[in-house]
Structure 1
Amino acid sequence: MSEPAAPEHRAIYLTGPTASGKSAVGVELARLLDAEILALDSMTLYRGMDVGTAKATTSERGGVPHHLIDVLDPWESASVAQYRGWAIEAIRDVESRGRRALFVGGTALYLKAMLRGLFEGPGADPVVRERLEAEAEAQGDAALHARLAMLDPATAARLHPNDRRRIVRALEVIELTGTAFSALQRQHERPASGVRVFALELPRPVLYDRINRRVSAMFDAGLVDEVRRLQSAPRPLSGVAAQGVGYSEVIAHLEGGPGLDRTIDLIQIRTRQFAKRQGTWFRGLAEVAPLAMEPGEPAEAVAKRIAARIEGGGEG
């Protein structure tokens, strides 16, 4: 099997729900493959957000180079498109040293963007857009939404009748391409071929127990102090950083909300819910090959199984 041409398709991906053991397996797999690790995680991008993101410590990284970690201050934010650009640049950097790029993390939107790219559609046409804006002003947003419903029912169904910006954009795309916006998106949804993507899976009771214990360990490691320090910084946390599971609940606690025990309970519940959503996401991506783990199976053993499938020429 020939290697895919695009850098992001030459990379190897290790994903799975939070607390499934990705970091430890990733380090062992990187050693076996002579790879460097690129974080596939929207929260470990932030400096100073270490405890609540379960960011791998220096010792846990085991001497394996890690990239795309600690690249933003907590008051900054980055789009999926920015992450994808950084990631492709990092892949090329790793490959320039004759090593493989191994993505490890559980941010599903990042994974999908790396595998399938980002749908942007044709560039804006100022003349068409200005005319549609004028029609919306004269006829009302509902009239344009009704027109969109006739031309592209799928897109109209997911847009609020008052969402003028997106309605105008959808009509603009139809006029410029002769194709419904939803049809173009479906074309973009085609799975990538030849990419090695593995998702760790544990029995749900085992995963949930690991989540509960991890959250408790975060509080023992100083999560409340970490959030207090972030809150006292000269600039406030970005919306993305402040809404991270664990951070938003501790912020509420520090601002007079639920007590500490209830806060721990809430984070455990919401992390379990998040893990369930992650599993649904990964199962919905055709590129992903599930990898069942036995409870207590050593990370090295899991990594050896993955490496054998990669070196054996399987697609994941």
Structure 2
Amino acid sequence: MTTPRLPPAILIMGPTASGKTAAAMALADRLPVELISVDSAQVFRDMDLGTAKPDADTLARYPHRLIDIISPEARYSAAQFREDALAAMAEITAAGKVPVLVGGTMLYFRALLLGLADLPKADPALRAEIDAEAAQHGWPALHAKLAVLDPSTAARLHPTDAQRIQRALEICHLSSRPMSALLAESEQQRPPYDFLELALLPSDRSVLHERIARRFDEMLLSGLDDEVRALRERYTLSLDLPSMRCVGYRQVWEAQDGLYSKQDMRDRGIFATRQLAKRQITWLTNSFSAETLDCLDPNLPQQVFERTVRFLAP
């Protein structure tokens, strides 16, 4: 007897500005699918321009689950995403459709596929010590320290990725073990789905960089500065919150506080977005066994469609 096939699910993963959303919506036009956002910034309400969130008309035509689900004042973890995504996938499958998970938050994709480690809870006092050390010596110095304690984790983190370096060091101190070892031990079996993993990667990074610059300029022209100002007026926010650490929002906030000029803000925002794309590409190439498609190909939506049809064929 043959084993019944698991229900299918499509993962469309890629760096920022790689055309993921357009490819997913093209699938929704032609196949019985429902979309689930895999984006740690688009979960926040009222953060629209800087997250490249589809506008209201687009979302009405192409509903995305897990968009606009929490306040910018709140925090949303990879564990919560996994729980919410699996619940949404079960509902979609039960309705006879195929879940399509689309986005660029690679930690969320990894959490979905492999589960999450039982890591120690945050220790405010220890975090304060780490922050004080970073203030004195800089985050690259702490990254070098992490490279000694946990080389595997350090290798995938940028030397200025303060949030993740802090967490990795915290885990090393609290558990006396590297985070990478804890993650490896606790990886769970994949959820009960047959996954098609598609990685949209650029054949020429300079072209992707041009897209990023053009899109950031469009965000500024559309009123990103006003959006950040309105967020600061409506909510109780700080630069320590995940929402305001999002690329673009931090740079606009700091420019509003007079830390640098609007031109510097633009340059810093574009640079930060390019660094984000670089980290996303590193995650995709090192941590997933996905089929690669050129995100710069003008026929990308058709290629995603054709690959999905072949995957779904009996």
TM range (shorter): 0.7 to 0.9
The change in CA–CA distance for 1:78 and 1:184 in structure 2 (over 3 A counts) is closer
**Could you list the per-position Cα deviations for residues 121-162 of structure 1 after superposition, in whole angstroms to 9, with x for gaps in the alignment?**
7x99xxxxxxxxxxxxxxxxxxxxxxxxxxxxx9992399xx
Matched-pair contact (CA < 8 Å) for 1:33–1:307: no
Matched-pair contact (CA < 8 Å) for 1:24–1:60: no
- Higher-Rg structure is 1
Q: Counterpart in 1 of 2:175?
A: 169
The change in CA–CA distance for 1:55 and 1:280 in structure 2 (over 3 A counts) is same
Q: Counterpart in 2 of 1:130?
A: none
Q: Measure how far apart 1:249 and its partner are.
A: 0.2
Q: Measure how far apart 1:183 and its partner are.
A: 5.3
- Tell me whether 1:25 sits opposite 2:23 in the alignment: yes
Q: TM-score, normalised by structure 2?
A: 0.76
Counterpart Cα distance in 1 of 2:60 and 2:308 = 18
The change in CA–CA distance for 1:181 and 1:220 in structure 2 (over 3 A counts) is closer
Matched-pair contact (CA < 8 Å) for 1:37–1:102: yes
**Could you list the per-position Cα deviations for residues 18-77 of structure 1 after superposition, in whole angstroms to 9, with x for gaps in the alignment?**
000001111112333311100000000000000000001133347222100000011011
- Equivalent residue letter for 1:27: M
- Residues 105-120 of structure 1 mapped to structure 2, 5 A cutoff: 105-120=103-118
Q: Counterpart in 1 of 2:195?
A: 195
- Residues 265-284 of structure 1 mapped to structure 2, 5 A cutoff: 265-284=267-286
Deviates more, 1:217-226 or 1:258-267: 258-267
SS of the residue 2:293 aligns to: strand
- Tell me whether 1:157 sits opposite 2:149 in the alignment: yes
Matched-pair contact (CA < 8 Å) for 1:37–1:104: yes
Q: Measure how far apart 1:93 and its partner are.
A: 1.8
Counterpart Cα distance in 2 of 1:191 and 1:306 = 25
Q: Counterpart in 2 of 1:308?
A: 309
Matched-pair contact (CA < 8 Å) for 2:73–2:235: no
**Could you list the per-position Cα deviations for residues 67-125 of structure 1 after superposition, in whole angstroms to 9, with x for gaps in the alignment?**
0000001101111111111111111122222111110100010010001011117x99x
Matched-pair contact (CA < 8 Å) for 2:78–2:111: yes
Q: Counterpart in 1 of 2:207?
A: 206
Q: Counterpart in 2 of 1:90?
A: 88
The change in CA–CA distance for 1:183 and 1:32 in structure 2 (over 3 A counts) is same
Q: Measure how far apart 1:250 and its partner are.
A: 0.2
Unaligned runs of 5+ in 1: 125-153, 172-179
**Could you list the per-position Cα deviations for residues 202-232 of structure 1 after superposition, in whole angstroms to 9, with x for gaps in the alignment?**
2212211110100000001100000000111
The change in CA–CA distance for 1:76 and 1:190 in structure 2 (over 3 A counts) is closer
- Residues 1-316 of structure 1 mapped to structure 2, 5 A cutoff: 2-4=4-6, 10-61=8-59, 63-120=61-118, 157-158=149-150, 167=173, 169-170=175-176, 185-188=183-186, 192=190, 194-202=194-202, 203-237=204-238, 239-295=241-297, 297-298=298-299, 300-312=301-313
Matched-pair contact (CA < 8 Å) for 2:216–2:270: yes
Q: Measure how far apart 1:298 and its partner are.
A: 4.1
Count of paired positions: 268
**Percent identity over paired residues:** 31
- Equivalent residue letter for 1:195: F
- Equivalent residue letter for 1:169: S
Unaligned runs of 5+ in 2: 122-145, 152-165
Matched-pair contact (CA < 8 Å) for 2:115–2:187: no
Deviates more, 1:37-46 or 1:263-272: 263-272
Matched-pair contact (CA < 8 Å) for 1:11–1:196: yes
The change in CA–CA distance for 1:18 and 1:182 in structure 2 (over 3 A counts) is closer
Matched-pair contact (CA < 8 Å) for 1:28–1:299: no
SS of the residue 2:198 aligns to: strand
SS of the residue 1:195 aligns to: strand
Q: TM-score, normalised by structure 1?
A: 0.75
- Equivalent residue letter for 1:307: T
Counterpart Cα distance in 2 of 1:34 and 1:47 = 27
The change in CA–CA distance for 1:19 and 1:293 in structure 2 (over 3 A counts) is closer
Counterpart Cα distance in 1 of 2:75 and 2:271 = 26
The change in CA–CA distance for 1:54 and 1:294 in structure 2 (over 3 A counts) is closer
Counterpart Cα distance in 1 of 2:208 and 2:180 = 37
The change in CA–CA distance for 1:188 and 1:290 in structure 2 (over 3 A counts) is farther
